[in-house]
Amino acid sequence: MVLLAPSIGALRKLIAICESYASSHGLLYNGKKSEIMIFKAGNKYPTIIPPVQLNGIALARVTRFKYLGHVVTDDLKDDADMERERRALCVRANMLARRFAKCSNAVKITLFKTYCSSFYTGSLWVRYTQKSYNAIRVQYNNAFRMLIGLPKFCSASNMFAESRTDGFAAILRKKAASLLSRTRDSPNSILKMIADHVCCPVINEIILNVKSNLVFKY
């Protein structure tokens, strides 16, 4: 579970509630496996952080941790999670190329779509550097080339169009749009408010992605 609070005092109150609930239900939180992260607010970052304890154990302070498979950092940037997904993509692509080298291209394309196009939590990527974006995009393109046996410098847009497979940018657009749609349809009023806000980062990411990858067909 995750507790979010605007201050150390508020966080301590939340932890006290959890400790009280656990005590009355015969449970016990593991303080050694629990951690605390202080998020940065632009250039503002507190230099002195009062200790926070759980069951008498001081919580270790970290700058990043993995929650439900997604890497969260104290600067709220997605570069670390994109690198995690890039490495996972490399492993999956090499496995497919090794085990299914003798299969037809139709089978390889189906396997590629299944195992290399998921990009778990990719719909949450809204703050990242161009370097991180290019790294995973190139990895995705090269993985497809390697699996199908295409030349290293062949056109990525042409090979995806001919194989009827989504390119990297198209996948991110669809994932972000799907997340936005499900959030807006949610009965949770807080989620709906965030999704409909003009400053929603997912909306801005979709707009930027479309503008930077606009293709004219005639």
- DSSP run (H or E) holding 60: strand 60-61
What is the C-alpha to C-alpha distance for residues 140 and 134, in angstroms, rounded to an integer? 10
Evaluate whether residue 218 is within a structural domain: no
* Both structure tokens of 185: 């349809």
For residues 193 and 94, membership in a common domain is answered with yes
Closest of 22, 16, 47, 53 to residue 35, by C-alpha? 53
Q: Tell me what the mean pLDDT of segment 47-74 comes to.
A: 90
**Residue 216 reports pLDDT greater than 60:** no
- Please report which residue ranges of 116-184 form alpha helices under DSSP H: 130-148, 156-162, 168-184
Evaluate whether residue 69 is within a structural domain: no
Torsions phi, psi for 67 (to 5 deg): -120, 120
Taking a C-beta distance cutoff of 8 angstroms, is the pair 122, 133 a contact?
Answer: no
Q: Which pLDDT does position 129 carry in this prediction?
A: 93
Q: Tell me what the mean pLDDT of segment 100-128 comes to.
A: 92
**Residue 209 reports pLDDT greater than 70:** no
- Please report which residue ranges of the chain form alpha helices under DSSP H: 8-24, 79-99, 105-115, 130-148, 156-162, 168-184, 189-196, 201-212
Mean of pLDDT over the chain = 88
* Both structure tokens of 71: 């890497």
Give the model's confidence band at 215: pLDDT under 50 very low, under 70 low, under 90 confident, else very high: very low
Taking a C-beta distance cutoff of 8 angstroms, is the pair 54, 13 a contact?
Answer: no
What is the tally of structural domains in the chain?
Answer: 2
Its sign, for the CA torsion 148, 152, 156, 161, is negative
For residues 25 and 85, membership in a common domain is answered with no
Which of 51-60, 62-71, 79-88, 201-210 has the highest average model confidence (pLDDT)?
Answer: 79-88
For residues 89 and 163, membership in a common domain is answered with yes
What is the C-alpha to C-alpha distance for residues 76 and 218, in angstroms, rounded to an integer? 41
φ/ψ bin of 30: left (φ > 0), alpha (ψ from -120 to 50), beta (otherwise): beta
The range of the structural domain enclosing residue 39 comes to 8-62
For residues 48 and 85, membership in a common domain is answered with no
Q: Which pLDDT does position 208 carry in this prediction?
A: 64
Evaluate whether residue 217 is within a structural domain: no
Spatial neighbors of 46 by CB under 8 A, at least 6 apart, are: 38
Q: Which pLDDT does position 141 carry in this prediction?
A: 96
What is the C-alpha to C-alpha distance for residues 196 and 180, in angstroms, rounded to an integer? 9
What is the C-alpha to C-alpha distance for residues 39 and 177, in angstroms, rounded to an integer? 27
For residues 90 and 143, membership in a common domain is answered with yes
**Residue 103 reports pLDDT greater than 60:** yes
Q: Tell me what the mean pLDDT of segment 75-100 comes to.
A: 94
Q: Tell me what the mean pLDDT of segment 4-31 comes to.
A: 92
Evaluate whether residue 35 is within a structural domain: yes
For residues 48 and 84, membership in a common domain is answered with no
For residues 93 and 186, membership in a common domain is answered with yes
For residues 41 and 111, membership in a common domain is answered with no
For residues 168 and 122, membership in a common domain is answered with yes
* Both structure tokens of 63: 């700058």
Q: Which of 13-22, 41-50, 83-92, 103-112 has the lowest mean pLDDT?
A: 41-50
* pLDDT per residue as tens digits for the range 150-189: 998 899 999 999 999 999 999 998 888 888 888 888 898 8
